[in-house]
Structures are given as structure tokens and as C-alpha cells.
Structure 1
Amino acid sequence: MSKWFPFQENNLLKQKVLFCFHHAGGSAAVYRSWIEKGGEFSVLPVELPGKATRMKEHFIENMSELSGYISEAVLAYAEQREIYLFGHSMGAAIAFRVAYQLENVFHRKVAALIVAGRQPPHFPNRDQYQSYMGTEVLLQEMIRISGAPEYLLKSRELQDFVLPLIRRDYKLNESFEYRNEQISSPILAYAGTYDDDAPIAIMEHWKEVTSGKFWIEPIEGNHFFVTDSKIDFLQKMIKDLDQVICKEEKCKK
């Protein structure tokens, strides 16, 4: 078992493996409910060091360093299976970096990169909150993007514990540096219709970092449409993947 994939004991090994990267402030548990709904995919939520099931480990604040370790773990787990990478918000940046390293360092092209809720790699960071601003401003930012649950708003003690951990994620996200990297895998991009930080007009520029197919679609919702209980986002993503990467003769059926 790999510490990077804490829920793999519940996962049947299938030919297609979907590795999922969470938003700032999240953990692998964000996607735990997807595991039994993956259909032909084995869904593997990724746990970063210093998070949840790996809380006692050192948190890595440099995305290039982190993505190197993740790439090795993905390769070791996937073996010869098809690799798919999904990332939401901060997770989209990590997923892109992993896709690039897999293709250009390990010579293993991923079947598809799926991104949601984040500007493309070659665009400036659009986060209104920056990690140097402290935790009080962070709480207001979480409220703005509808990312602050009621139980957090009601507990100062919980805020004192949780907010510094989320602030680390923002620092990790800020460490991302684009150096003209390109991939050749297809990219599927999704934009929340009420997500002012990553609208479809911004998300469509993800097409500029791949030589492969590109698909973009708006999804009704705010920044967190990916995990909105009213939207079966996973099933839509699986259906779209079939359309984007299937062979032409299959698509015409």
C-alpha cells in the first residue's frame, strides 16, 4: 500500500486509473465518495504529506519538489494501466505538473488531464488571498468563495487549528512557476458559471499548454461545483472523457 493513496484498500484494480488532486484546504477525503462510483475507472484520491492521514509528516511547500514525488508514486501504482489525472483549483496545478513530469521525465504520457476551477499554468495567480495576509483575511476569503462550512464559522478554536493548515496550501499554490511546459495529452477543462476567479473565458486558455485535443464546458455552480451534491460531476466527467479520447470510429456510433 502507498501512503499517497490512503483509500486504495477499497479499490479494485482496473485498467483505467483516475488520480484526483484536491483544492487548497482539502484532503484525499474530498473524493472518497467517488471510489465506488468510478465505473471502469479505479479512483485514487491523492493524500499530500502533512495532510489528514499523513498529518505527522513534513508538509512540502514547493510544488516542483512535491510533483516529483507524486509522479514516482503514480507510476509505481499504475504500472501499465492508463493514467488519468484530475485536479480542482490548486489540485489542477499539481495535476498539470505531474502530467508534464510523467511525459517529459519518465516518458509516460497520461491518457487525459482534467482540470477545474483554476487559471491555466501560464496565467498569473488569480487568488485574491495571498499567504502573507494571515489567517483572519483567509477566513473572509473562504466565505467569499463559499468554502467556509458553518461549523468552522462557529468555532474560534477550530479556526485557530484549521486556518494555518489551509494557509500552507495557499503557499504551496503560490510556489508554482511556469517555465513554458507543454504536454501532448488531451485536456478537459470545466468552469463554474459563478466562479469569478476561474471563469470559462480564462479556463479556455488551458488549450494553449497542450498539443492534444481540448474540451471545455461550463458547469452551473460556484468554485466548488466539483463537490456540489446537486451535481453528479464525476459521471459527467467520465462521459466526457469517453467523447474526447475515444477513437473516431467509436465516437460515430
Structure 2
Amino acid sequence: MYRSLSLRDFPKPEIPAIKRSQRLVSSPDRVSSESTDEKWFLRPGARTNDGVRLFCFPCAGYGAAMYRPWINARQILDVYPVQPPGRANRIGEPALASIPDLATRLAKAIAPLTDRPYAFFGHSFGATLAAYTCLELEREGYPVPVHLFLSARHPPNCPSPVPPMSHMSDDDFVSEINTRYGGIPEQILNEPDILAMLLPALRADIRSLELIEGQRVVDIPAPITTFGGLSDSIISADLIDYWQDWTSYGYRRMMFEGDHFFLDNQREALLDEIAETLKYALGDSPRQRLQP
């Protein structure tokens, strides 16, 4: 059921003192040439915005386009849809079947954009990628997100409720994806050539999730809000709640009407929740907390 909590039930995070000096400023001399490559973010029509940068990580096989309706949707949100390799404008690049490797590369692209408060939203595969990217940014000494929003996914330390499928034949793989998640649109299924172009990235993303299953719990230095669909047949609220072991900075869960892709029909309510949570988080700004 929907579990509603007041924002005041959510503790404001304190940045550990040992890391404060590292997080005040990003180091330009440590930024690689890849980090300034705009291929990682697609923001068509984005208006100038000094709000919280919200990096949005797509689900398996998808790209930045799934978050196009989020751009300019809320004044407080400066949305940066993430475009991993192997899809859309990056179809010529090989998809990476390793979440740690992808997080390392993505962190380099995000690092120059950590000069003001930012947050992560990730759906399904994107939730796990968001968590690992946050950990990589912390490891490199960059400012961490003020908040993580993780949707429709359990963390790697939680045993998967379903068996591996990345090894399956194309036909069986597509059938299993749609049985579990309903994630491939009918119009794509009816276009074999297009489907063949999309499958490598989808398979690589699923494989990367399978490879990190059983990984130990890691403490994420930011509060976490999780979201789920009440009719999701695979990812239950109990599985989602394993994320609470990944942070000591505050955790809560909210469930919405809908299935694994509840965010399609619940976009407005979801964006409202994200915006309100970030307004509260910024009431005690990260920059103020970083002062000695």
C-alpha cells in the first residue's frame, strides 16, 4: 500500500567531516576529455535553469528519450537525461555489460556538473546505475548528490526474485522481458530490424545486473527515496526496502498505482514528490552544511 511520510520524518543528511574538504569544489585538473562530452546527456529544448540538477538514469535498453517529458516540467528541476552508449545517437558505440565500468565513465561526465546541488533519479536498471555512480563520485572526492530517488529495483545484495535471462536466444529473451516487465512496445516488436538494433544494449544492461547480484551492501552518503508500482509483479515493496540498508542518511518508500512502468501514468505525481523532497533538502543547503 501507499506509505505516506511527512518530509519532516526524513532526516536532513550531514556530510561526514572527513570528506568535507574534498567535496567543496570539483577539481578541473582531474576531469578527462570525455567528461565534457555532451553525448552523455540529451536535453532538447531545455530552458536555462538554476534549479537542482536532476540526472535521470534510464531503465534497461532505454535511453535519455524516456525522460524527455520531464525537461522543463518543474522550475526547481534542471533535468539531465542520461544517454548510455549503445542506443539512439550512440548506437554505434558498444553497450557496456558492467555497471561499475559504466558508472566510472558516467561519473567523469557528471563531475564538472557537481558545482551546484544535484540529485539522481534512476528507474529499474537505472536505479542501480545511479547508486553506483554516486559511490564512484564519492570515491573520487566530488560532491555527492543531495538525494537519490531509486525506482522499481532492488539493490544487488538482495537475491533476485527471477532467474538469469541474458543468456537466452533473442526470441526467448524478448518473450521473457515482456512477460516480466512488459518493457518492449508493440510497435518495436513488429519491426524486426529495429528490434535487432535495440537488443544488444538491452541484453548488456540485463547482463550487468546479473553480474553484480550478491554484491555486499555499500553505504551511500545521501538520503534515499524509493518508488514502486503496486501492481509490479516482480519488484515488490519488500524487495525495494532492501535499499534502506544502503544509507544511514535517511530512507523512505512510496508506492504508486501501476505496474513496473508506473512512472508513465504517474509522472505528474512523481515529479511533484521529487520537487517537494528537493525543496525540503535545500532548506538546509549542502553548501551551508559544508562550512567549517
TM-score band, normalised by shorter chain: 0.7 to 0.9
Name the residue aligned to 2:228.
Answer: 191
**Of 128, 131, 139, which aligns to 2:166?**
131
Structure 2 residues without counterparts, runs of 5 or longer = 1-36, 285-292
**Of 140, 149, 152, which aligns to 2:188?**
152
CA distance in 1 between partners of 2:51 and 2:62 (Å): 27
Question: Residue deviations 1:194-226, cap 9 Å, x none?
Answer: 112211111112111001011111111000012
- C-alpha change, 1:168 and 1:121, in structure 2 (3 Å) is closer
Instruction: Tell me how many residue pairs correspond in the alignment.
Output: 246
Q: Say which one has the larger Rg.
A: 2
CA-based RMSD of the aligned residues comes to 2.2
Distance apart, 1:176 and its partner CA: 2.8
Structure 1 residues without counterparts, runs of 5 or longer = 248-253
Question: Residue deviations 1:42-83, cap 9 Å, x none?
Answer: 1000011222111122322221111011111111123x2112
Match of 2:139, as an amino acid? N
Match of 2:127, as an amino acid? A
TM-score by length of 1: 0.87
- C-alpha change, 1:18 and 1:230, in structure 2 (3 Å) is closer
1:213–1:244: 8 Å Cα contact kept in structure 2? no
Distance apart, 1:121 and its partner CA: 3.0
Distance apart, 1:227 and its partner CA: 2.4
Name the residue aligned to 1:225.
Answer: 262
Q: Which moved more, 1:233-242 or 1:112-121?
A: 233-242
1:128–1:141: 8 Å Cα contact kept in structure 2? no
Question: Residue deviations 1:80-110, cap 9 Å, x none?
Answer: 2112011000000100001112223324221
| 1:83 equivalenced with 2:153 (yes/no) | no
Comparing both chains, which one has the higher relative contact order based on Cα–Cα distances under 8 Å and sequence gaps of 6 or more? Answer: 2
TM-score by length of 2: 0.77
| 1:214 equivalenced with 2:214 (yes/no) | no
| 1:140 equivalenced with 2:175 (yes/no) | yes
Q: Which moved more, 1:27-36 or 1:49-58?
A: 49-58
CA distance in 2 between partners of 1:147 and 1:58 (Å): 21
2:156–2:216: 8 Å Cα contact kept in structure 1? no
Question: Residue deviations 1:15-45, cap 9 Å, x none?
Answer: 4100000001210110011011032111000
Distance apart, 1:141 and its partner CA: 2.2
Q: Which moved more, 1:223-232 or 1:112-121?
A: 223-232
Distance apart, 1:9 and its partner CA: 6.5
Name the residue aligned to 1:116.
Answer: 151
